[in-house]
C-alpha cells in the first residue's frame, strides 16, 4: 500500500461537509493539508481539529469563482506547504428551482462556482504537478452529472461539465503520471443535502456519510501509482 505520510494536499471547501471529512482522513494518514473556503471561522475551527493529528494544517479564505483570488491564494498555499501532491476539487454549491423560475444570476452562480471555480483552481495547481511529473487530482461531480432531473438544471449542467472537463484533463496528463479521478457520489448527509431537504440529519444508519466519501478518496490514493481509479460512483447500499 502506498504511504501517504508527508504528502501535501489542497482541499477546496475543506472546512465542512465532504471536504472536512477528507481533510480529517488525510490528517490521520499523515498528509499536510491546506483547506479553503469563504468562511474563516469554519476554516479556523477545522484547522485546529486537523492540527491535533500532528500534521501541518493551514487555511486560505477565497472564493473559487474569482480567478484573481484563486491565483493569489494557490500561490500562497504552495509557498506555505513547500509543494503540492494532491488536489481535491470539492467546493461547490447546489440550487433547486424550475428552469423557468430560477433567476439568471442564480443559474450563472452555480456554473461560475462549480465549473469555472474548479477550472481556475486546477489551472493554478496543475503546473506544480506537471513539474513534479506526479500528482493526484480528485474532481467531485455527482450523480446529477450523469442524469438530468427536474428542478436542478443548473447543478446538473455544472456537474455534466465537470465530468467532461475532468475526463479530458485525465487523458491529457496521464503521460505526466498525474491521476485525475472523477467522483460521482449519490446523496451524502451534509449541510447541502439536509438544507435542500434531500436527506435528514442523523441518517447514518442508511445514508452515506462524509467519512465514507473520504475513505474512498484515501483508498484511491493508496493504489500503486501504476493504477488509477478513473471514476467512481458511491451509493448508499439501502437508503430506504
Ligand atoms: N452531499 C452530497 O450528497 C453530494 C453528492 C454529490 C456531490 N456533492 C458535491 O460534493 C461537494 C461538497 O458538497 P457538500 O455536500 O460537502 O456541501 P456543503 O456541506 O454545502 O459544503 C460545500 C463546501 O464548498 C465550499 N464552497 C462553496 N462555494 C464556494 C465558493 N464559491 N468558494 C469557495 N468555497 C466554496 C463551502 O465553504 P464556505 O461555505 O466556507 O465557502 C463548503 O466547504 C460539492 O461539489 C457537491 O456538489 C455532494
Cα dist from 69 to 111, 190, 236, whole Å: 18, 26, 36
Q: What is the pLDDT of residue 200?
A: 94
**Is residue 32 within 8 Å of 8, Cβ to Cβ?**
yes
Assign 2 a pLDDT band (cuts: 50, 70, 90): confident
Average pLDDT in the 19-46 region? 98
Annotated catalytic residue 155: yes
1: confidence class by pLDDT, cuts 50, 70, 90: confident
Q: Identify the active-site residue in 59, 119, 128, 155.
A: 155
Cα 51 to chain centroid distance, Å, stands at 20
Taking 3-state DSSP, the helix, strand and coil percentages for the chain, each rounded to the nearest 5, stand at 45, 15, 40
* Spacing, Cα 94 to ligand 1 middle (Å): 8
Q: Cell 501532491 belongs to which residue?
A: 85
What is the distance in A from the centroid of ligand 1 to the CA of 140? 9
Domain boundaries, the chain: 8-232
C-alpha 157 to ligand 1 mean position (Å) = 16
Q: How far apart are CA 190 and CA 13, in angstroms?
A: 12
Which amino acid residue places its CA nearest to atom 30 of ligand 1? 63
**E-strand spans in the chain?**
8-12, 32-37, 57-61, 86-89, 135-140, 178-183, 231-232
pLDDT (0 to 100) of residue 156: 98
CA proximity to 230, closest of 175, 174, 156: 174
**Residue given cell 465542512 in the structure block:** 16
Closest ligand 1 atom number to CA of residue 42:
40
The structure's pTM equals 0.98
145 lines ligand 1 (CB under 6 A): no
Q: Is 168 in the pocket of ligand 1 (CB under 6 A)?
A: no
At residue 42, the pLDDT reads 98
CB of 38 closer than 6 angstroms to any ligand 1 atom: yes
What's the CATH number for 8-232? 3.40.50.720
Q: Give the distance (Å) from ligand 1 centre to CA of residue 87.
A: 15
Amino acid at each position: 500500500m502506498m504511504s501517504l505520510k508527508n504528502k501535501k494536499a489542497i482541499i477546496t471547501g475543506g472546512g465542512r461537509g465532504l471536504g472536512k471529512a477528507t481533510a480529517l482522513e488525510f490528517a490521520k494518514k499523515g498528509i499536510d493539508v491546506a483547506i479553503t473556503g469563504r468562511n474563516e471561522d469554519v476554516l479556523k475551527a477545522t484547522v485546529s481539529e486537523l492540527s491535533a493529528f500532528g500534521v501541518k494544517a493551514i487555511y486560505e479564505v477565497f472564493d473559487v469563482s474569482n480567478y484573481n483570488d484563486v491565483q493569489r491564494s494557490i500561490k500562497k498555499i504552495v509557498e506555505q506547504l513547500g509543494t503540492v501532491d494532491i488536489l481535491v476539487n470539492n467546493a461547490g454549491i447546489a440550487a433547486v428551482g424550475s428552469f423557468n423560475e430560477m433567476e439568471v444570476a442564480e443559474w450563472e452562480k452555480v456554473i461560475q462556482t462549480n465549473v469555472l471555480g474548479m477550472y481556475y483552481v486546477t489551472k493554478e495547481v496543475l503546473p506544480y504537478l506537471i513539474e513534479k511529473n506526479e500528482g493526484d487530482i480528485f474532481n467531485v461531480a455527482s450523480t446529477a452529472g450523469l442524469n438530468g432531473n427536474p428542478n436542478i438544471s443548473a447543478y446538473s449542467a455544472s456537474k455534466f461539465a465537470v465530468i467532461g472537463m475532468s475526463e479530458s484533463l485525465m487523458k491529457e496528463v496521464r503521460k505526466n503520471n498525474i491521476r485525475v479521478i472523477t467522483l460521482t457520489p449519490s446523496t451524502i448527509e451534509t449541510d447541502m443535502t439536509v438544507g435542500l431537504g434531500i436527506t435528514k440529519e442523523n441518517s447514518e444508519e442508511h445514508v452515506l456519510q462524509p467519512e465514507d466519501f473520504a475513505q474512498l478518496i484515501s483508498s484511491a490514493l493508496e493504489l500503486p501509482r501504476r493504477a488509477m481509479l478513473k471514476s467512481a460512483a458511491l451509493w448508499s447500499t439501502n437508503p430506504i
